[in-house]
Amino acid sequence: MRLIDEMSGIMQMRSWRWAMVAVAATAILSVGCKPAGEAGGTTPAANPTAEAGGTPTAAVRPAVTAKGNEAAGDTIKLGIVGSMGGDLRPWGVDSVDGAKLAVKEFNELGGLNGKKVELLVEDSNSRPEQGKSAAEKLIQDGAIGVMGEVASGITIQIAQSAFDKGIPVVAIGATRDDISDVGNNFFRVCYTDSFQGPVMAKFAFDELSLKNIALMTDKSQPYSTGLSDSFRKKFEALGGTIADEQFYQSKETQFGGQLTNLKAKNPDGIFLSGYFTEVGQIARQAREAGIKATFLGGDGWDSQKLLTIGGDAILGGFFCNHYNNTEARPEVKSFMDKWSKEYGNTPGTTMGALGYDAATLMLDALKRATAANSAALIVALEDTTDFKSVTGSITLKGRNGNPAKRALVVEVKKPTGQVARKSYEFDQVMQ
Amino acid sequence: MFWIVRILSILAVVGLCFGIQAFALSQTLVAPRLFALTGLYVTLAVSLNLINGITGQFSIGHAAFYQIGAVVAGFLSVRFFADQPLAGPVWLMAMGVVGGLAASLAGLAVGLPSLRLRGDYLAIVTLGFGEIIRIIVLNTDAVGASYGLNVKPKLQFIWMIWLLAALCIAVSRNLLKTVWGLAFLGVREDEIASNAMGVNVTKIKVMAFILGSAFAGAAGAMLAHYEGFINPSMFSMDLSFIVLTMVVLGGSGSITGSVLAAIALFLLPEFLRSAPPVTGSALVAGALSTAVSVAALRWVTHHVHGETRRKVLAYGAGLAGSVTLFLLLRLLLGNVPSLAGISFEASKLRMVIFAATLIILMMLRPQGVFAHHEFSWKWVGRLFGRTNAGVKA
Amino acid sequence: MEFGSIALASLDFGTLPQQLVNGLLLGAIYALVALGYTMVYGVLRLINFAHGEVFMLGAYAALFVSWRLGFSEAGLVSNPNLASSALNLVLMLLVSMTTGAIVGVLIEFFAYRPLRNEPRIAALITAIGVSLLLQYGGALILPNSPQPSIDERINPYRSAVVLQLKGADAHFEGDIQQAQGKYDIAKTAFDTALTREKAQFGIDSEFDLRDQSPRKTVQAAESDLKRLQSEKESSEVRVVIPQGQLIMLITSLGLMLILRWLVMKTKVGRNMRAVAHDFDTASLMGINVNRVISFTFFIGSALAGAGAMMNATFLGTPLDTFYGVKLGVKAFVAAVLGGIGNIPGAVLGGLVMGVAETLVVWAGYSSYRDAIALVILIVVLLFRPGGLLGSSKVEKV
């Protein structure tokens, strides 16, 4: 009490106010620093960073210990977490539509020996904590397997909850590598950032002869920070230089400051590793600021809104995507047919096909599983070899849940929005 | 006698906490979480009430203290729990204390500079402080930055959460019974007069912030260990506003009010989740009839005086009228296809209902439901006819 | 964020003029909105939390007008070459200002006026309630997700104004000419090769060229040329102001000057100042206080609407109903910074905030840009509780 007495008396004095400001500033600055050691505690796995996320890593994933769910009665329940609200809505809705299509198709073809599959849908509202409770609700409602999500930040929470309960997760569009380290119940149908970044690096270096690239990273999105990292590593390994890295946060609208900093380093390309909402605006403002560099990015660009937001500025940019609606492969053609028959349009984003793939993979594993329960499903998923999906061939066996998918680099062009330019098989890029 | 009553009361309260936990766990899988979160919100509301209601300082950044407690406790648990000998519950209590200490340091940091600021300025400083904390956490990789922090181990002790709530209530209430407490009330009522009477206004304000933030921080520590995952977006400005609504609804200065309002305002939207979708026509009808009834009830408040019976009748008529109006409008508007066609999920209306509650409350009863009244055994006694005063008023 | 690796020496002072200009442009928007806050506080001693939502609704009004004018997604698909004119912009501005004004007046009438005689905290809480109601209620009705944005083609002024403060280094002229020459040669060779291979092998694009060497040559030449051009620009000290943002700055200044004239030279303005100074005495002097207050809200909200329209149109920011929240808090902080109730103070506060925020980004700490505003506020209030231009006297009895 006395201490506060004196302190309050002192507070009236000017000099002490200055001192307080100084102390507070130092405190804030030191908190903002990275600690000397490893930034610990974000993931429970022993080795959170996976250098070569797609290839089998030396670290063995923790095995599931919980019992999981068992399909009871005549219906088998599968769950899907989708962002039906919030910023990720276009992707979430597409992914759920794709999964619904796959389940409907499966049931129409007879289901699993006559047993129908019921797809339970929960909304994550584009938020990680809601995704977590959505997954938990699905598990509680009896789903023996869960699909989702499209964003890494949400998916890691789903994977964690599912691991605790022994349920397999098939991720749809989450590309961040360290999610696989959560446990051996986690699988995905998409490629990982440790592949996507190098693909773009190789494309930029080999195809576009860009040598000096700047990075614009969305610091508030784990997807973006991971992607920028893997791009940087590969690009520097190929012999290119990274001119500068600037950061922004999702929902920011003014990038003038960061762009002015970037421009001074004279990059010939700018890697925009974030999501399309900000990427579009950054492109616009960059062109207004007189930056003539080529824009590059990852699958976060994939949205019809990119053209609206980015306007003319984003045309001629290149990004890495999972597949393209116009591909000549039979799987793509039949998928497009089925989709337009069911929904009367074409899928707006690649998440439609990826959602479909996640569901068909899960259903295929269900057929191969020895029993209709979570544990058997995990084993069957792990055993997947050369599963022919819309977005490419998926092999999960021995790969820690990360398939060696191929990537397609597309150019942003009107009117379709994307024109396929170059495809990269996994082994071409990851040696 | 005094001590026997005291000790028995404490034992009863502790027993009640365990009873709540047992009851919660016997329910369905989702319910224990509801009980836990309700307990946390009660603590938050009562601790905010200490700052806003009892001391009259307008603080609208309470989520910051909650977050600091959660982040600090979560971080320490992830780093140190595995290597230390204490058992789960003891560790959690320790974390609660640590969280509370960390948050009270923040409370000190907010309290000291704000001494010279008047109510409105203080509000914006506290709001700003909440945002600063959120941004700092968002940029600190060690506590998960934007990814969030996975707190291991998950220590889910509902009884401890409610024990904390009980402690918070006890401290608030007992504070008011001491001479200190009167000083708090004095600062609320008239700062200058209190200062003239010799109360160290500065010290009181700072104490209020420290106490309020300490409890919020302890609650944050509990949250981190219960949920197992914390993320900066869980501690947004909206959370501060929700807790503020709870305090305002219950009645600033009334601990009972804060407790009941916290429980009500938290559980109500949870029931909304399973409610059927609301059609556009019902929504518009609801909005219109609410507006009309608020206006009508305000008129009643200002123009109808006299006997209680008359007032009750007038209010009753007003309420009945508004319900009728609502049903009528909904029927009418149901014929408008553009309105009847769209429907809104009940859960999306949660914040809208909160906002409307705030406005309606300020229009009709700004002092809150309970105003400054508290629950007391005397009041219960009066219910059963045992009064000290024999004369009817 | 590694503090150790960022030393003061690594700050690029060449970009400082551009950053300062960026800051001023940003500050102009903050100033417009801060004016609304400060005027309302001046007359009512109330923090109008709902002001951010007035801003948001003004932006949506501009959006809907742009859709009406044919610049919606559907409209642009059917009419992709739709040209715009200054008239469109003026129309959007007027509609935004009117919408803002009407919403502001309505909020005052229905939410604040009934509570005039209640303790101030009641009005404050009501303000918070109205703000939340508009945000979440609006989310139910207005297009929110995916976030709509005003198409850039409605702005006919999309080039940039370039101010050169220092010319480029002399050697660049010759170097660029050389590089240009090399590039022209390489491009002709590349174009010939591409046409030839298209005719011969039927390839689709340059990516499928069988002989990649002309492509590599032209890419190398192009990259050299671009790099030289970029280095030339870097060696200059130049400030690039997109035309749209220049219009924003001029309009904001114009509106502020009109406001100053209004407040200082007209009878209404004098009434406003009187009410701000002493509410009761003003009403005793025969001023219709209610009308003055409504007018204050009218003007303040109109300014916010103008700011919103310009922000949404010239910067193309995607809209959602929470668009006004962050900016509202920052603008309010700006108003307090300058001294709440003080009109020049709001402008000063807005500009200071804009510049401070941009300088933080320039220094490399862009993640903290939102926090800096609040930190500045707290520091300023520590030493001058009345704000920069407000009084520093402590209230004495």
Helices C369-383, A14-32: inter-axial angle, 10-degree rounding = 170
- Rounded Cα distance between C367 and B138, Å, is 9
Residues in a beta bridge with A54 = none
Same fold, A75-191+328-400 and A194-321+410-429: yes
Residue B137 in contact with residue C390, Cβ under 8 Å?
A: no
**Which chain B residues are closer than 8 Å to A153 by Cβ?**
146-148
**Residue A366 CA to chain centroid, in angstroms?**
25
Select the more confidently predicted residue: B139 or A23: B139
Task: Indicate the residue type of B299.
Answer: W
d(CA A398, CA A230): 22
Report DSSP letters for C32-101, one per residue.
HHHHHHHHHHHHH----TTHHHHHHHHHHHHHHHHIIIIISHHHHHH-TT----HHHHHHHHHHHHHHHH
From B119, which residue of chain C is nearest by alpha-carbon distance? Answer: C121
- Cβ–Cβ contacts within 10 Å for residue A290, how many? 18
User: Per the CB < 8 Å rule, is B352 touching C133?
Assistant: yes
Question: Judged by CB atoms within 8 Å, which residues 341-370 of B form the interface with C?
Answer: 344, 348-349, 351-352, 354-359, 361-363, 366
pLDDT(C253) > 70 = yes
Give the least confident one: A163-177, B295-309, B315-329.
B295-309
Using one digit for the tens of pLDDT, what is the confidence trace for C322-374? Answer: 888 888 888 888 988 888 878 888 899 999 999 999 888 888 888 888 888 88
Distance from CA of C116 to the nearest CA of A (A): 34
Q: Mean pLDDT, to the nearest integer, of B184-204?
A: 87
- Which residue of chain B comes nearest to A178, CA vs CA? B147
Q: Is pLDDT larger for residue A83 or for residue B333? A: A83
Residue spans of beta strands (DSSP E) within A139-240: 145-147, 169-171, 186-188, 212-218
d(CA A345, CA C177): 51
Residue with the bigger pLDDT between C187 and B29: it is C187
Residue B65 pLDDT class (50, 70, 90 cuts): very high
Note whether C47 contacts B124, CB cutoff 8 Å. Answer: yes
CB contact under 8 A, A257 and C240: no
The residues facing A115 across adjacent strands are A112
pTM of this structure = 0.82
Calpha distance C305→C99 (Å, rounded): 7
pLDDT at A427: 84
Q: Which CATH architecture has domain A194-321+410-429?
A: 3-Layer(aba) Sandwich (3.40)
Contact predicate B205/B55, CB 8 Å: yes
**Closest by Cβ to B359, choosing from C111, C371, C374:** C111
C305 band by pLDDT with thresholds 50, 70 and 90:
very high
- For the stretch C36-45, pLDDT in tens is 888 888 888 8
**Of A62, A176, A170, A74, the residue nearest A117 (C-alpha):** A74
- Say which range, A241-245, B118-122, B326-330, has the weakest mean pLDDT: B118-122
Nearest to B142 among A7, A39, A137 (CB): A39
> Touching C: which chains, 3+ CB pairs < 8 A?
A, B
pLDDT (mean) for C380-385: 79
Instruction: Using the predicted structure, report yes or no on whether residue B131 has a pLDDT greater than 60.
Output: yes
Task: Give which of C163, C215, C243, C315 to mutate to test A binding, by max A Cβ within 10 Å.
Answer: C315
Identify which of A11, A28, A222 has the shortest CB distance to residue B146: A222
Beta-carbon separation of A129 and B109 below 8 A: no
Task: Give me the residues of B, 244-303, that contact A with CB < 8 A.
Answer: none
Distance from CA of B290 to the nearest CA of C (A): 13
Residue A50, pLDDT score: 32
CA distance A119 to chain B (A): 19
Residue B119 has pLDDT above 90, yes or no: no
| C107-123 pLDDT tens trace | 999 999 988 888 877 88
Closest in B29, B136, B147 to A153, CB measured: B147
**pLDDT value for A59:** 57
Give the residue-averaged pLDDT of A371-385: 89
Tell me the percentage of chain B whose pLDDT exceeds 90. Answer: 19
In the predicted structure, residue B281 carries a pLDDT above the cut 50? yes
Nearest to B251 by CA among C121, A353, C332, A223: C121
Confidence band (pLDDT; 50, 70, 90) for A39? Answer: very low
Per-residue confidence (pLDDT) for residue B346, from 0 to 100: 67
pLDDT tier, B112 (very low <50, low <70, confident <90, very high otherwise)? confident
- Within 8 A of A129 by CB-CB distance, chain B residues are 148, 227, 229, 231, 233-234
Binary contact (A308, C223; C-beta < 8 A): no
Residue of A2, A8, A124, A140 best to disrupt the B interface, most CBs of B under 10 A:
A8
CB contact under 8 A, A220 and B138: yes
Which residues are A246's β-sheet partners?
A: A216
Task: Grade residue A34 by pLDDT with cuts at 50, 70 and 90.
Answer: very low
pLDDT given for residue B388 in this prediction: 54
Whether residue B370 is predicted with pLDDT greater than 50 in this model: the reply is yes
In this complex, do B142 and A34 lie within 8 Å of one another by their Cβ atoms? yes
Partner-chain contact A257 C316, CB within 8 Å: no
Q: DSSP per residue over B233-287, as a string? A: GGG-HHHHHHHHHHHHHH-TT-HHHHHHHHHHHHHHHHHHTTSPPEEHHHHHHHH
Using 50, 70 and 90 to split pLDDT, how confident is the model at B40? very high
- pLDDT at A12 exceeding the cut of 60: no
Residues in chain A closer than 8 A to C316 (CB atoms): 281, 284, 309, 311
Q: Do B150 and A44 touch (CB under 8 A)?
A: yes
A244: closest CA of chain C, how far (Å)? 11
Q: Note whether B233 contacts A129, CB cutoff 8 Å.
A: yes
List C238's β-bridge partners, or say none: C164
**Could C368 and A266 be called an inter-chain contact, meaning their C-beta atoms sit closer than 8 Å?**
no
Mean pLDDT, chain A, whole residue set: 83
Sign of CA dihedral A97, A101, A107, A113: negative
Q: How confident is the model at residue A51 (pLDDT cuts 50, 70, 90)?
A: very low
* pLDDT in the model for residue C6: 45
pLDDT value for B347: 66
Cα separation, B248 vs B58, in Å, equals 11
User: Which residues of chain B lie closer than 8 angstroms to A8, CB-CB?
Assistant: 112, 115, 200, 202-203, 206
| Residue among B141, B227, B231 minimizing CB distance to A34 | B141
Domain ranges of chain A: 75-191+328-400, 194-321+410-429
Q: Please answer whether residues A268 and A213 qualify as being in contact, where contact means their C-beta atoms are separated by less than 8 angstroms.
A: yes
Distance between CA atoms of residues A220 and A128, nearest Å: 13
Scored b (16 or more CB within 10 A) or e, C217-246 reads bbbebbbbbbbbbbbbbbbbbbbbbbbbbb
Q: How would you list the strands of the sheet with A75-82, edge to edge?
A: A116-123, A75-82, A145-147, A169-171, A186-188
Mean local confidence (pLDDT), C280-297: 92
Strands (DSSP E) contained in B143-260 are 149-150, 229-230
pLDDT tens track for C44-87 = 888 898 999 999 999 999 999 998 888 887 787 777 777 888 88
Tokens of B242: 């929700």
Which CATH architecture best describes the domain A75-191+328-400?
3-Layer(aba) Sandwich (3.40)
Are the Cβ atoms of C14 and A32 closer than 8 angstroms?
A: no
Question: Would the pLDDT of B376 be above 80?
Answer: no
Phi, psi dihedral angles at C233 (to 5 degrees) = -65, -40
Question: Which of C11, C218, C361 best probes binding to A when mutated, by most A CB atoms within 10 angstroms?
Answer: C361
Identity of the residue in B30, B143, B233 whose CB atom sits nearest the CB atom of A127: B233
- Distance of alpha carbon A256 from alpha carbon C266, whole angstroms: 39
Which among A253, A265, A285 is the top mutation candidate for probing chain C, defined by the most C β-carbons within 10 Å of its own β-carbon? A253
Yes or no, beta carbons of C47 and B131 under 8 Å apart: no
CA distance B317 to chain C (A): 22
